[in-house]
Structure 1
Amino acid sequence: MALHGSGGSSFLVPWAAAVLLALGAERALALPEICILCPESVRNLSEVTLYCKQTRGLMLHNRCCLNQEGTIVGLDLQNCSLKDLGPKFPQAHTAVIIDLQANPLKDDLANTFHGFTQLQTLILPQDVSCPGGINAWNTVTFYINNQICQGQRNFCNTTGDQEICPENGSCVPDGPGLLQCVCADGFHGYKCMRQGYFSLLMFFGILGSITLSISILLWGTQRRKAKAS
């Protein structure tokens, strides 16, 4: 019996290792593409690394700091020779801290951070302005080689315009210096003035009727031309 147990254990060891390897491979495949945009891993003394190691439940993978659900909390793309942030950058919209220093970025990041409502620390090259401008952040600190934008402000509370959104809408932040007006439940359309829910069935019904009418008209026109010739 002892020999049988020993054989079973020796069989389970490679099986368990294979399962763990498969799980690791699956997790690697699920890593957001923005995390592997640069070939090298995040530097040990970077701000993203320090934040990730000091915050419980976070882990470093390539250029990203992820929580246990795999959500990006930090992103370090410093020294990646980036001229622009590219189409994969919105994958990091959940990040709290992002480091973009030491990149030849163009100073046109104003609309790049749509949806980055949780961002609190952004490190940029010294010649690139904080998105949204200085008023979109609590503090902007300039150093020799970089600048740090910290504490994203709720732009809905800082515009000073009480009527920035219509009566039936509410203002919600949409990133540094950005906001959007969301219609209240039961309202839609221009300035949220239309009451009731928008009927997709009616919309597609009307669209289908128009398409059918145009198709019949074109078919009739082509048929008359064919007879005339």
Structure 2
Amino acid sequence: MRAEVCLFTSLDLYILCILLLFPAVCFGLQHNDSPLCRTCEGQVQNGSSVWTFCLTAGRIQGRCCFQGNVGDEDSIVGLDLSNCSLSHVEDLHDALAANIIDLSNNPIVNLSDSTFQGFKHLTHLMLPIKLECPGGNTSWDTVEVKHNTRLCEGQRNTCNQTGQMSWNCPENSHCMPYGPGFFECSCLHDFHGYKCLRQGHFPMLEVMAILAGATVIISTLLWLTQRRKVKST
């Protein structure tokens, strides 16, 4: 009897967790505990460009600063990984919303072309002097070298700031900037799907309802099945 009560409680908690976590997974709720902010010890360095930016843009936590107050949407808007003894950089995509990133004073030999793909809001980037600005000099308004740091400032619109249809984009879409040297084809209003060939709004509510219903049904079946096994024993 005691084992049955414990299993019943565990299953109830499991189902409850699924139902509570489902909206968070589907709607992409974020938290501010990104491992990126703990890449190296300490906080955003006092007096640095990132520190100056963070004083007016948000709150500092570790090597990051977040926009707004605690409880607001947690978007990393500033990232200071300078002087962290980094020899390579693999994934910075927790900081996609960043306006300023500092990777200077690190023994980084090279960066992948796709490292800053999707960084549409990035306006200030500090790199070790041996590295080139992502997307090349033509992707930035200003590129200069100060001391041992390469400064890339003012990310340019790869679509030449026209926002008009690009010959690289299919019909019913237009060119949108997608990071230094990158662009993406965004479907025009009322079009979606492969190559923007489908017209009409994407059935988001219907899809979410189906996913929610499937989750509830599977959880209920699991609970009933496990409970019957306990009773039979």
List per-residue Cα deviations over 1:51-95 (Å, max 9, x = no partner): 112x1x5222111121223321110000111122233x1001111
Cross-structure match for 1:14: none
Q: By how many angstroms is 1:124 displaced?
A: 0.3
Task: Choose the corresponding residue for 1:188, options 181, 193, 198.
Answer: 193
Q: By how many angstroms is 1:188 displaced?
A: 3.1
Alignment of 1:80-229 (within 5 A): 80-87=84-91, 89-157=92-160, 162-184=166-188, 185-189=190-194, 191-193=195-197
Gaps of 5+ in 1: 1-28, 202-229
Q: Percent identity?
A: 42
State whether residues 116 and 176 of structure 1, in contact with CA within 8 Å, keep that contact through their aligned partners in structure 2. Answer: yes
Distance 1:40 1:193, change over 3 A: same
Distance 2:166 2:66 in 1: 38
Q: By how many angstroms is 1:182 displaced?
A: 2.0
Cross-structure match for 1:43: 45
Distance 1:112 1:71 in 2: 18
Matched residue SS, 2:37? helix
TM-score if structure 1 supplies the norm length? 0.65
State whether residues 75 and 95 of structure 1, in contact with CA within 8 Å, keep that contact through their aligned partners in structure 2. Answer: yes
List per-residue Cα deviations over 1:164-198 (Å, max 9, x = no partner): 32221111111111101123333432x43465678
Moved more, 36-45 or 89-98: 36-45
The root-mean-square deviation of aligned C-alpha atoms, in Å, is 2.7
Distance 2:53 2:201 in 1: 44
Distance 1:157 1:100 in 2: 27
Cross-structure match for 1:224: none
Q: By how many angstroms is 1:162 displaced?
A: 4.3
Letter paired with 2:108: L
Distance 2:191 2:58 in 1: 40
Moved more, 105-114 or 128-137: 105-114
Distance 2:107 2:160 in 1: 33
Aligned length: 169
Letter paired with 1:75: L
Distance 1:84 1:58, change over 3 A: same
Q: Point out which structure has higher relative CO (alpha carbons under 8 A, 6+ apart).
A: 2
Q: By how many angstroms is 1:97 displaced?
A: 0.6
